[in-house]
Amino acid sequence: MPLWLILIIIGVVLVILGVATEIGQFLLWIGVIVLVVSLVLGLLRRAKN
C-alpha cells in the first residue's frame, strides 16, 4: 500500500476512535500532502515523456 493511503487510514481510525485526535488530524493532513505531491510528480513525469 502507498504511504499516503496508510497515513490517511491511520488518521481516520484515530479520529473516529477519539484517541489522539490531534495526531490523527496531523496524519490525515500529511497523507493528503503526500498524495498531492505524488500526483503532481506523476503528472510532470508523464508530461515530460
Q: Where residue 22 falls among pLDDT bands split at 50, 70, 90?
A: confident
Please give the tally of structural domains in the chain. Answer: 1
Q: What is the pLDDT of residue 30?
A: 92
Q: Classify residue 45 by burial, with Cβ atoms within 10 Å: 0-12, 13-18, 19+.
A: exposed
CA distance 20 to 39: 29
Q: Measuring CA to CA, how many Å separate 29 from each of 16, 17, 45, 48?
A: 15, 18, 24, 29
Average pLDDT score over residue span 7-26: 87
- What range defines the domain where residue 17 resides? 3-48
Phi, psi of 24 (to 5 degrees): -60, -45
